[in-house]
């Protein structure tokens, strides 16, 4: 039987756990912050302004119409990305980005690329069902 006190105690324990977990993450984010690069931040704003996420993924999260762009910078290079931005392709329209916007976006993609690898082939599967990156 769930008594009123037991319900309240369970709720309080869960709430305390949730708030502690949340504020721990806020205070110590996974990647220790370096000074914010202005151009990376500007590139992120371009990415969001043109809603690139609607079609593209980063770390497998985003739209499904275009490819995952996490490591496109190292795999294809800036010239390749620039040509797609200038000419458009398939469902992707020409966004007529300014030179400054293109540069910022490329810097942002370079920054994402440096943060890790999203390729699922690079993960090893452990017996307990967890995964680890090689």
Partner 1 sequence: MEPSNKNNLSASKLFIIAGLLLLAIGMLFGLTGALQYLAPKFLKQFLSFEKMRPLHVSSVIFWIIFAAMGSVLTYLQQYNGKKIFSPLLLKIQFGIFSITVVVILITYVFGVFGGREYWEFHPLLAMPLATGWILFIINFMASLESFKNLPVYVWMWLTGLFFFLFTFIESYLWLIPYFRSNVVNDMTVQWKSYGSMVGSWNMLIYGSSIFLMEKISGSKKYSHAPIAFVLYFTSLFNLMFNWGHHIYTLPTYPFVKHIGYAVSMTELFILGRIIWLWKSSVDTARRHYHQAAYRFLLAADVWIFLTLLLAIAMSIPAINVYTHGTHITVAHTMGATIGINSFILLAIAFDVLKDSCMPFEKSIKWINRGYYTANISLLFFWLSLVMAGILKAKWQMDDTSIPFSSMMLQLRPYFIIFFVSGVGLITGFYLVLFPLIKNQFICHYKKLFIKSKKNETVFIIDQFQSV
The residues binding partner 1 (CB under 8 A) are 1-2, 4, 7, 10-11, 14, 17-18, 21-22, 25-26, 29-31, 33-34, 36, 40-41, 44, 47-55, 57-68, 90-93, 111-112, 115-116, 118-121, 123, 125-126, 129-131, 133
Cα distances from 111 to residues 22, 34, 107, 125, in angstroms, run 26, 12, 6, 27
Between 24 and 99, whose beta carbon lies closer to partner 1? Answer: 24
40: nearest Cα among 114, 105, 125: 105
- State the nearest-atom distance from the C-beta of 56 to partner 1, in Å: 10
- State the nearest-atom distance from the C-beta of 118 to partner 1, in Å: 6
Name the DSSP class of 124: E
How many C-alpha atoms does 53 have within 13 Å on its Cβ side? 11
């Amino acid at each position: 039987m769930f008594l009123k006190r037991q319900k309240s105690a369970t709720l309080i324990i869960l709430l305390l756990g949730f708030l502690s977990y949340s504020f721990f993450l806020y205070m110590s984010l996974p990647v220790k912050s370096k000074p914010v690069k202005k151009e990376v931040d500007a590139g992120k704003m371009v990415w969001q302004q043109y809603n690139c996420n609607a079609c593209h993924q980063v770390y497998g999260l985003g739209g499904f119409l275009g490819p995952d762009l996490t490591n496109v910078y190292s795999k294809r290079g800036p010239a390749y990305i620039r040509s797609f931005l200038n000419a458009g392709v398939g469902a992707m329209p020409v966004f007529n980005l300014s030179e400054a916007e293109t540069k910022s976006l490329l810097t942002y993609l370079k920054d994402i690329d440096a943060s890790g690898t999203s390729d699922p082939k690079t993960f090893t599967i452990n017996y307990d069902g967890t995964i680890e990156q090689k």
